[in-house]
Amino acid sequence: MSDTDTRDPTSLRTPIVAVLGHVDHGKTSLLDKIRGSAVIEGEAGAITQHIGATAVPLDVISEIAGELVDPDDFDLPGLLFIDTPGHHSFTTLRSRGGALADIAILVVDVNDGFQPQTLEALDILKRSQTPFIVAANKIDTVPGWNPNEDSPINATYDAQSDRVRQTLDTSLYEIIGNLSDEGLSADLYWRVQNFQRNIGVVPVSAMTGEGVPDLLAVMMGLSQRYMKEEMEIDVAGPGVGTVLEVKEEKGFGTTIDTVLYDGTIRADDELVVGGMNEPIVTDVRAILQPRPLAEIRTENRFEKVDSVSAAAGVKVAAPDLADAMAGAPVRVVRNRDRQEVIGEVEAELADIAVDTADNGVVVKADTLGSLEAMADALEEAEVPIVRAEVGDIAPRDISVASTADEHKERTILGFNVDVLSDAEQRAEIDDVRLFTDDVIYQVIDEYETFVEEMERAQQDTVLDNITRPARFRILPDHVFRQNDPAVVGVEVNSGTLQNNTFVVSWEGNEPTRVGQVKGIQEQGEDVDEARAGERVSVAIDGPTVGRQIEEDDELWTELPEKHAKILEQELASEIPGDELEALNMYLDKRRKRDPFWGK
Ligand SMILES: Nc1nc2c(ncn2[C@@H]2O[C@H](COP(=O)(O)OP(=O)(O)OP(=O)(O)O)[C@@H](O)[C@H]2O)c(=O)[nH]1
């Protein structure tokens, strides 16, 4: 009998642990290693597989961690690890306004260092104020590493050569530096005095198990020291949880995989679950847990149980769950006023609600929490949202997006979601652009690049249709024809001289139109325009040389007021510097008489 059995199991629940990190940095391997070690170390069945989670009890942790964990020092029952595959965003899941995970492990590959998803995970951890430690994984890949299976870190560290130790230290300090760049003070875990102020970095290998004893010891210590009070629950009370995933299950219809963090859920309970439109009130049909390993050969993967208590991962089958959302709250009604429970669920949903505008992009995400994270990031990027929903991108999302007036809003931004195949087709037909990724900032970056490119293309077409400023001078001894039209050699001083534009000369503050450009030739070839610095011959319809115009005269392209306004207010950064100079000189002249000209 282990000590845990003699304690009161009704008072403290298991802390919920999230493992997160960049793709391929080893989240699954680390969990597998912990699970594997637990199966080997503990008596068979000591760890329990939950739906979407694995519970590792204190006595097993103590077996794995050896002298690093003395079970007498702890009264928390162990750790509940949420499984990560496919749900890296579960870090955004909430429980009553806080993060669902009580504590987290951020896995960072020592060779790879910080990567986009590492930063994103860090951001979410910071925002939700979830305590966490960093597992610097894959230490066994340091060249020359001498592996010591399942060893605590200090023993295996001592067994390495100086060079190996130095290489590892360099990588570890790089990670500590990365954390510091993010405004977090961190150090190797054995140097950390106060884990609330400093992030502990634990070197580990998910492959050899080195450092895993330390990792478990630190997690256990951190939970016990800083989280004990939060773990005090009324185990027998009505269950409270968060939907991890909504799934069709053969023989059971729509089910919700739920992490229960408070109380108990029973097979005869009434539930209120957060839904797409309104809270769903339903009766539990079955509470399901995975079958123990020994019975895996049976047809059904699940077995029905009468009740489950927090903290646990369970599958709940009940009618009317089709509209349930990942990330939404789940509450047992039992002996309470149903309306009051509905009110609580509504309040929690309202707390995560996204502000929408009359116009904007459509946003889809895999859970309520990640939807909120997307909305926050979009608000920061000043991108308005017209509709935000949990779920894959479906044809009706395309319909919503396709009604947008602005092209840049005929878009759907999806985080960690799939695009249903008929939606993809509709998007093409309706010219709706889809942006999906499993890194929030990637989605937003791609979208912003798209908007920038589109706006640039639009400006280019505007520029094509606008008269460009130009200042040019008639060269002495370059009069080729007096009139009808006058043909003269000119040099463009600044700006772009275009064919068919009207030409003005300035006398004082008054522009006088002298004619219209009816042809530009450069070395005998017809051209459409001449840029600053170029010498060309120009045919000007209207004036006669010697009367309205003379050799050495300075002439200007006549700018319509509307064009001048667009150039100054919208395109100033798009046009070349010399053209801007010509524009400003032109505006100065104009505004001497009329200060509001072109404004
Ligand atoms: N040498 C070595 N390889 C490792 C270690 N941990 C993980 N790997 C390898 O790295 C690869 C990725 O590991 P996973 O556990 O799948 O990574 P993950 O972070 O869960 O990846 P996703 O679930 O796809 O996000 C696999 O090939 C693992 O075998 C380690 O400590 N040492």
Report the distance separating Cα 290 and Cα 438, nearest Å: 28
* Nearest ligand 1 atom to alpha carbon 205: 31
CA 76 to the chain's CA centroid: 34
Question: Is 137 touching ligand 1 by the criterion CB < 6 Å?
Answer: yes
| Bridge partner residues of 243 (DSSP) | 258
pLDDT computed for residue 79 by the predictor: 93
As to burial, measured by CB atoms within 10 angstroms (0-12 exposed, 13-18 middle, 19+ buried), residue 27 is buried
* Nearest ligand 1 atom to alpha carbon 139: 31
Rounded to the nearest angstrom, the distance between the alpha carbon of 105 and the centre of ligand 1 is: 15
Bind-site residues: 21-28, 83-87, 137-140
Rounded to the nearest angstrom, the distance between the alpha carbon of 289 and the centre of ligand 1 is: 27
Strands 411-415 and 433-437: parallel
What is the residue type of 188?
L
Report the distance separating Cα 383 and Cα 357, nearest Å: 10
> Which of 35, 130, 134, 26 minimizes the C-alpha distance to 79?
35
| Bridge partner residues of 343 (DSSP) | none
Longest dimension (CA), the chain: 115
Question: Is 111 touching ligand 1 by the criterion CB < 6 Å?
Answer: no
Residues 215 and 105 sit within 8 Å (Cβ to Cβ): yes
Helix (H) / strand (E) containing 256: strand 253-262
Which CATH number, 2.60.120.620, 3.40.50.720, 3.40.50.1370, 3.40.50.300, labels domain 3-227? 3.40.50.300
pLDDT computed for residue 550 by the predictor: 93
| Bridge partner residues of 495 (DSSP) | 470
Residues 418 and 393 sit within 8 Å (Cβ to Cβ): yes
Which CATH number, 3.30.460.20, 2.30.110.10, 3.20.20.140, 2.40.30.10, labels domain 240-351? 2.40.30.10
Going from the first residue of the chain to its last (599 residues), give the mean pLDDT of each consecutive group of 10, the final group possibly shorter: 43 90 88 77 61 85 88 90 62 68 93 89 84 96 95 95 96 96 95 91 97 96 88 91 89 92 95 93 94 53 90 94 91 95 91 85 89 88 92 93 92 94 93 92 92 87 87 95 95 94 87 94 93 95 94 94 91 90 93 90
Check residue 69 and report its DSSP letter.
-
pLDDT computed for residue 8 by the predictor: 46
pLDDT computed for residue 40 by the predictor: 60
First to last CA, the chain: 86
State whether ipTM is beyond 0.95. Answer: yes
Residues 191 and 169 sit within 8 Å (Cβ to Cβ): no
Report the distance separating Cα 223 and Cα 126, nearest Å: 18
pLDDT computed for residue 5 by the predictor: 41
> Which of 204, 215, 211 minimizes the C-alpha distance to 110?
204
CA 168 to the chain's CA centroid: 31
Question: Is 207 touching ligand 1 by the criterion CB < 6 Å?
Answer: yes
Question: Helix, strand, or coil here: 169?
Answer: helix
Rounded to the nearest angstrom, the distance between the alpha carbon of 24 and the centre of ligand 1 is: 5
> Which of 203, 197, 201 minimizes the C-alpha distance to 225?
197
Within 10 A of 319 (CB to CB), how many other CB atoms are there?
12
Domain ranges of the chain: 3-227, 240-351, 353-455, 470-593
Check residue 366 and report its DSSP letter.
S
Report the distance separating Cα 114 and Cα 166, nearest Å: 20
Structure tokens at 270: 């009434």
Residues 397 and 414 sit within 8 Å (Cβ to Cβ): no
If one residue of 24, 109, 137 were mutated to test the ligand 1 pocket, choosing by the most ligand atoms within 8 A of its CB, it would be 24
Domains 353-455 and 470-593 share a fold: no
Question: Is 32 touching ligand 1 by the criterion CB < 6 Å?
Answer: no
Report the distance separating Cα 521 and Cα 502, nearest Å: 17
- CA neighbours closer than 13 Å in the CB half-sphere of residue 71: 17
Write phi, then psi, for 175 (nearest 5 degrees).
Answer: -65, -40
Which residue, judged by its Cα, is nearest atom 30 of ligand 1? 138
Check residue 162 and report its DSSP letter.
H
If one residue of 29, 110, 214, 439 were mutated to test the ligand 1 pocket, choosing by the most ligand atoms within 8 A of its CB, it would be 29
Strands 502-507 and 510-522: antiparallel
Q: What is the dotted CATH code of the domain comprising 353-455? A: 3.40.50.10050
pLDDT computed for residue 296 by the predictor: 42
Rounded to the nearest angstrom, the distance between the alpha carbon of 23 and the centre of ligand 1 is: 8
Report the distance separating Cα 10 and Cα 585, nearest Å: 82
Rounded to the nearest angstrom, the distance between the alpha carbon of 28 and the centre of ligand 1 is: 7
Residues 444 and 377 sit within 8 Å (Cβ to Cβ): yes
Is it true that the peptide bond before 485 is cis, omega within 30 degrees of 0? yes
Rounded to the nearest angstrom, the distance between the alpha carbon of 266 and the centre of ligand 1 is: 38
Which residue, judged by its Cα, is nearest atom 7 of ligand 1? 26
pLDDT computed for residue 463 by the predictor: 79
CATH superfamily, domain 470-593, is: Translation factors (2.40.30.10)
